[in-house]
A and B are shown apart, each in its own frame.
Chain A
């Protein structure tokens, strides 16, 4: 060994080694000193010390051995050894770590989202005590529901507030968009999110203000007249610059002025996961409160000694009194009775409520499953790599065993090596997951402006990541390690064969891995195809009416001086004005815009028969605007007024349901009475074909009835209307144009617009996301399988080189060699696809509810997946097979 390397070796030695050397050196030195002190000459003194001590190198090694065999140091030593090994084969290490990091990162990212929408508790004190009070089974379509979160009416809330024995604190809340005034004109507004809350909101949740104060009873008492508001931390920071709360600033929300008095804690995002809020204002309950509006949610904190079951029991028992006291007026006996029989229940609300959760929960679980399977395939590839590496290291391992290393010791070393890869992979994966999950949220938020979700890396996420890291490590590391440690050293050393460790056995294990990969990727491909095709089906759905180039415009004029008897006149004037805007081809009044998510229905009587139908009030030009033909009878015209007989146009589904085989024209239908919608008799004057109603996902045609807008019940009429506007110009441009025109004529009219097609695309976001991600992962799985199969088939060809050489020498044709090799791949493919098909059928069943226009058992999809995999197998095994066929028999036989 030359000098520089010696010095380098010295520095590389661990401090423990140096310490041992120092200790022994000190011993020798002290003995020498004593000897000199006793009168020996220095030479003799040193010699004597050495003689007494024995061989210092041997002693040092013995001491080192003691330390290594039992100490932590050996662990460190193994790690260094492993890293050295990886540094020698950097490509292997890089491929392995990147594969793992991507796999673990994808899994962690999905889990982070799942954790955020499903598992995390609200950032309040003792979230486990929080309960949501709802009607068991929902309100069954009675009354008017305005949001997913508001499940009770205000009168019901007032009854609960009066008496709520199981709850220590209880509050009502409703989250809504309000218009914040930003300028003098009614159109100078900005949509903000506010939560209207009752008095015990803050005390029940246990919230403390971070600045200023929260709402007090005085604010609550003045709720309807305008009092005080609390802002969210985000709003405080972004819109108010985090300056001190003086109580002098105020904000106008929906024409009511509020003083800003305080700020909520930074972590508090409200009660709906995935939605933030800007303002919290007192809940206004007017004297003449609408008793049929389900517009508040009620939550409470369980009192000590109460649990969910007992609380539900109590509320169920109390329901009769509560609903009796809160009965809405104007319904017929059946509906009133139904309302009376509602039962309240208490539901755990520790993680809040979330529309996002309802919409994306199952998709996220499916994505987690998909990414998990991709990771499994990647692990199988890694395991094969590890096996190949282990066989390359066979001699090293045999040598170490021959020198006395125990199997446990070797196993530890090998497991540590794979553990190290998993560790690096996991760290990198967590970092990647932050990027992935934020990217996903950005995609979700790009089409859903309500979405506000922050991802956290909490203990659950870390636990999950370490869990899958350990799992992957076990999958790809353990088997190869056991295999390698089982090697017979004598055999390995004697033959010099790099494949001594029972190669047939390992060889079949590699095959097993490939079969597993094929099966799993088959599942992934089938899933991906189902989602992609389902999305395609949705994209190509024919709604039965014009969907492109339709803008919905809302026109509100709460401050205008028009009297109720002139409402209809003004609305029709607006329609005419909008129609005269250049670029607008047609426009019509519609009370419920199509394909926009809302729905409106009435109970009806046809003769003695009872039923229900959607009802929409439209102006005469509606059907022309939407491109819906009148198949029989007539459309509406200007003679259908409040003073003429009530008429209706129904769709085909309505006819099929209520007048099968009859001519519906001239037949009558009667709506049942509802608050502000008196019972009315309509004569059917026209029939239109079936169209979709509110949602592109509708699987069957809804029954629909259309009624002239001029015949809208005056009791229900208000200062606002909604128009569908057809135009060949882009929605944004025509909206601005209309806004400018109308504003010039009626400065008191506030307007909002949205594009129907855009709204439809938004409603397909989940499907698009699933299709894109599952497609991506399916393709990734196919690539991984290709790599794995290529590796195994190449290995097989190398192993059988001798045999193939003999075959060629004995006259086997090239094509037979090719078919021999490819037949091998074909068998693995066959077994894999068979297992894969079985698993796919079992697995995709659970995704049935997410599919549109497809059955989970879809032969075409499965056939396509098998074809794709066959193509993958062919391209992966062709090259090795071709190489095998071109083998030079002389060369092949000489080599072994």
Chain B
């Protein structure tokens, strides 16, 4: 049984986002998720940063201070090799969860 929860979902979204973009700051991650999901998903911004920092402690992501296009200093996150592996694990777990939930929903 795949372990999953809301937090896990947010981590998955962050990991996937960083996998698709080489390096993004927190606000960029929020924008990316909202844009790609067609505004269906809204990231709770208050939870984003604790999650990012936790992931950094786990060494899934690394961070670096850099300038944005508008010349503002921001902390940019990018995926590490460990993070890439974690993404694969989390993705598989997510698929299991979706399958499981769907099976329950379609039970007749």
Contact = CB atoms under 8 A, between A and B. Distances in A.
Interface of A: 19-20, 22-24, 26-27, 29-31, 33, 52-55, 58-59, 62-63, 65-67, 70-71
The interface centre, meaning the residue of B25, B44, B53 with most chain A CB atoms within 10 A of its CB, is: B53
Given A33-B70, A53-B45, A26 B53 contact: no
A23 B29 CA distance: 13
B44 A30 contact: no
Given A30-B27, A54-B45, A66-B57, A23 B50 contact: no
Contact of A29 (B46, B50, B54, B72): B72
Contacts of A33: 70
Contacts of A55: 46
A766 B105 CA distance: 92
B4 interface: no
A66 B54 contact: yes
B21 interface: no
Given A23-B75, A26-B72, A52-B45, A66 B27 contact: no
A755 to B, nearest CB: 75
Interface in B19-45: 25-27, 44-45
Contact of A66 (B25, B53, B72): B53
B50 A63 contact: yes
B72 A54 contact: no
A66 B45 CA distance: 16
Interface string B39-66: 0000011100110011001000000000
B25 A58 contact: no
A53 B50 CA distance: 13
B85 interface: no
B55 to A, nearest CB: 9
Nearest to A22: B73
B73 A26 contact: yes
B68 interface: yes
B35 to A, nearest CB: 12
B105 to A, nearest CB: 31
Contacts of B27: 26-27, 30-31
Contacts of B70: 30, 33
A66 B68 contact: no
B97 to A, nearest CB: 24
A31 B25 CA distance: 12
B49 A63 contact: yes
Contact of A54 (B26, B46, B74): B46
B50 A27 contact: no
Contacts of A20: 49, 53
Nearest to A51: B45
B45 A58 contact: no
A469 to B, nearest CB: 31
A697 B49 CA distance: 80
Nearest to B25: A26
25 contacts: A20-B53, A26-B72, A26-B73, A26-B74, A26-B75, A27-B25, A27-B27, A27-B45, A27-B49, A27-B74, A29-B72, A30-B74, A31-B27, A33-B70, A52-B45, A54-B44, A54-B45, A59-B45, A59-B49, A59-B50, A62-B49, A63-B53, A66-B54, A70-B57, A71-B57
B26 A59 contact: no
B72 to A, nearest CB: 6
A59 B46 contact: yes
A67 B44 CA distance: 20
Contacts of B26: 23, 27
Contacts of B73: 22, 26
Nearest to A53: B45
Given A27-B26, A67-B57, A62 B74 contact: no
B67 to A, nearest CB: 11
A114 B86 CA distance: 55
Contacts of B25: 26-27, 30
A59 B43 CA distance: 14
Contacts of B57: 66-67, 70-71
B46 A58 contact: yes
Contacts of A19: 75
A204 B49 CA distance: 68
A63 B47 CA distance: 9
Contacts of B75: 19, 22-23, 26
